[in-house]
Amino acid sequence: MPILQPGVAPECSTTKPKKWWLEGELALLIVFVLGAYFTRMSDLTIRGEESRRGLIAREMLSTGDWIVPRCQGVTLFSRPPLQNWLIAGLAVWRGEIDAVALRLPSDVALLLTAVMIYGYSRRFLSPLGALTSGLAYASMGQVLELGRMGETDALFTFFVSGSLIVWHWCFQRWGSTFRTWCLGYLFVGLGMLTKGPQAPVYFATVVGVYLLWTRQWRAAFSRAHAAGIAVYCLIFGAWQIPFVRMLGPEGAGRMYVNDVGHRFMDATVFSVGEHLFNFPFELFACMLPWSGLLVVWLIPRFRQLIGEARPYYLFLTLCIAVTFPTVWLPPGARPRYFMPLYPCAALLAGLAADRLWLAAGVSGWKAFWKAFVCACSVAMIASGVALLVVSLGNFGIWLAQPAAHAWAYAAVCLVLGVLAWRSLRTDSPGARRLAVVSIAGFLALTHCTVGISALQSVSVDTAGAVARLKTKLPKGTKLISFEQVHHMFVFYFNDDVPVRPVPRMPADVDDEVTYFCVAPGELEKGPLPFAWEPIDVIICDRRIEPYPRARVVVGRRTDRPASAAIQAAARETEPAAIEQTGGRQ
């Protein structure tokens, strides 16, 4: 690579090795991801949409229908079923759908994304720059949060970013070949099966704009591109065609619009304006601290240092610029919706760091890197001190840890902060590696220790509440659900809970119903047309709140005597339940 500025270090050469997968920096990246994401995998309670994903997978296993996603036997028009298939497959291996089966697909997808980022960036970055890109993605705040959960975000990010990065990787190496387009559309098809149209829309718009910008638009009309489209149709059609045959075109349409329409509901001029102003700052915060490196790209003089990485910089910039309006303009969009483009931002952050090192001989750019590292060092040490104060003082803050844990965390933060600070004394690849690894290590450590432990302390024990409920129910009880109830309750109940309409008139009452569950909102619409008594109220919120929002009421009819068998079972069960719960209802 040509020297960009005086003082370029020869160790920063971007020589493209034939076997980048054997480099020590990649091994270090893999070890980091394994430590940050594959540890404490099941320590945190199942939360959010995880139980819904698991419930769909369980119903697929029990019914044998792998085409239509269902919850409580009711079709769920939310997203295609690829993630549910993976969870169900892991459940067969593990014997149950537990936290590991739910979260392992996300963890593996994140590991593969980090490896992909490293391999792609070695086309235009030094090994240390590629390591920085991989660590930047794997240690972004929102990635650390969502990458460990059984949500679709990490898996969808791998497929969407993979469709773009792998396509451009191949395009730069082999041109518009069958391999280039087929691999790109392979990822697009899998992304479509994971979450929906965002995958093909992002791929088509970004690649189309890139080909037009670089005046290579003829590649879009090649036979290789047609073959890629055929690969996409084959992958997606293998599920879509049976799905349409079962539910019709209307059902297929609902699958892709149900989760989008609510973003525009109740939108006002004020809410839209507030979103347009706040969203870029929220997105910047979700990618901290590495988003701080992206600021340097706003300086025209710095962009002159891109050098031979210009085709990659252009493509990555177009990826973000073309797709950003899709999440910035809808008023209900959240930063997590842009997570599929976080790998592109991480690659730009790695490129920024690499060029800052190459221009180390220029005091201005050296000062920028020094300011970034110093800010991170101060934040590390301040975090350790803050947790120590919160934990030792009686402030009632949920982040508080046991004293021994707080002291250990503070000591590690101090060590990492000092290491990052001292790395600035010498301008060498080893010192830079020390700074990058210290920053990423601090972020992963904070989430895996303080973050998970703090969330544990405030998480609702829905599993325990459902287990106690089952001791109150007679053996062999058939629980009926009046309309659908919260998926977390059904997931932990771990039994068939058929759905029936809420009876509003005495003629609607089914005499076979004795025990039932219902959402409180249904009871607020009007009383049930029979006498009943509550057995328990199960809270399904993620965190303990003064006023729980997600609840399920479990009740028993009292307007007619139960059968002799049920009465006998109830007499045996209720004393044990009362003793176990201390008489609480």
Question: Do 487 and 528 share a domain, yes or no?
Answer: yes
Assess contact for 495 and 84: CB atoms under 8 A.
Answer: no
pLDDT confidence of residue 561? 58
DSSP string, 186-229: HHHHHHHHHT-THHHHHHHHHHHHHHHHTT-GGGGGSHHHHHHH
538: in domain: yes
In this structure, the strands spanning 479-482 and 515-518 are: parallel
Residues 474 and 430 in one domain: no
Give, in degrees to the nearest 5, the angle at Cα 190 between 189 and 193: 90
DSSP string, 440-464: HHHHHHIIIIIIHHHHHHHB--HHH
How many domains does the chain divide into?
A: 2
Predicted TM-score of the model (pTM) = 0.91
For residue 289, cis peptide bond before it (omega within 30 degrees of 0) = yes
Assigned domain for 420 exists: yes
Please state the rounded mean pLDDT for residues 501-518.
89
Assess whether pLDDT exceeds 80 at residue 14.
Answer: no
- Predicted local confidence at residue 206, as pLDDT: 97
Closest CA to 340 of 224, 473, 192, 460: 192
Residue 230 maps to a domain: no
Would you state the pLDDT for residue 266? 57
Are 398 and 414 in a shared domain? yes
**Average of per-residue pLDDT across 39-45:** 91
- Asked which of 458, 490, 507 is the last residue of a domain, the reply is 458
> Which band of pLDDT confidence, cut at 50, 70 and 90, is reported for residue 250?
confident
pLDDT score of 507 more than 90: no
Q: Please give the full DSSP string across 46-66, using - where no structure is assigned.
A: P-TTHHHHHHHHHHHHHH---
In the listed set 439, 458, 477, which residue is the last one of a domain according to the structure?
458
Mean pLDDT of the chain: 89
Domain carrying residue 534:
462-581
Range 242-263 average pLDDT: 78
- For residues 481 and 554, membership in a common domain is answered with yes
Domain's final residue, options 435, 458, 481: 458
Residue 488 lies in a domain: yes
Q: How far is it, in rounded angstroms, from Cα 493 to Cα 31?
A: 37
Query: Is residue 555 in a domain?
Result: yes
What mean pLDDT comes out for the span 300-322?
A: 94
What is the reported pLDDT for 253?
81
The band of 427, judged by pLDDT with boundaries at 50, 70 and 90, is: confident
Please indicate, yes or no, whether residues 401 and 439 belong to a single structural domain of this protein.
yes
User: Do 484 and 561 share a domain, yes or no?
Assistant: yes
Q: For residue 12, which amino acid is it?
A: C
Range with top average pLDDT, 111-125, 506-520, 553-567:
111-125
What is the predicted pLDDT for the residue at 271? 77
522 located within any domain? yes
Residues in CB range of 441: below 8 A, 6 or more apart: 32, 416
Residues 426, 524, single domain; the answer is no
Same domain, 447 and 467: no
Same domain, 483 and 507: yes
| Domain presence at residue 450 | yes
Cα-based distances in Å from 282 to 67, 152, 198:
37, 21, 21
470 with 526, same domain? Answer: yes
Supply the pLDDT for residue 559. Answer: 82
Averaged pLDDT for residues 363-392: 93
Examine residue 308 and state whether it is found in any structural domain, yes or no: no
- 394 & 444 share domain: yes
The reported pLDDT for the residue numbered 265 is: 56
List Cβ neighbours of 238 (8 Å cut-off, separation of 6 or more).
none
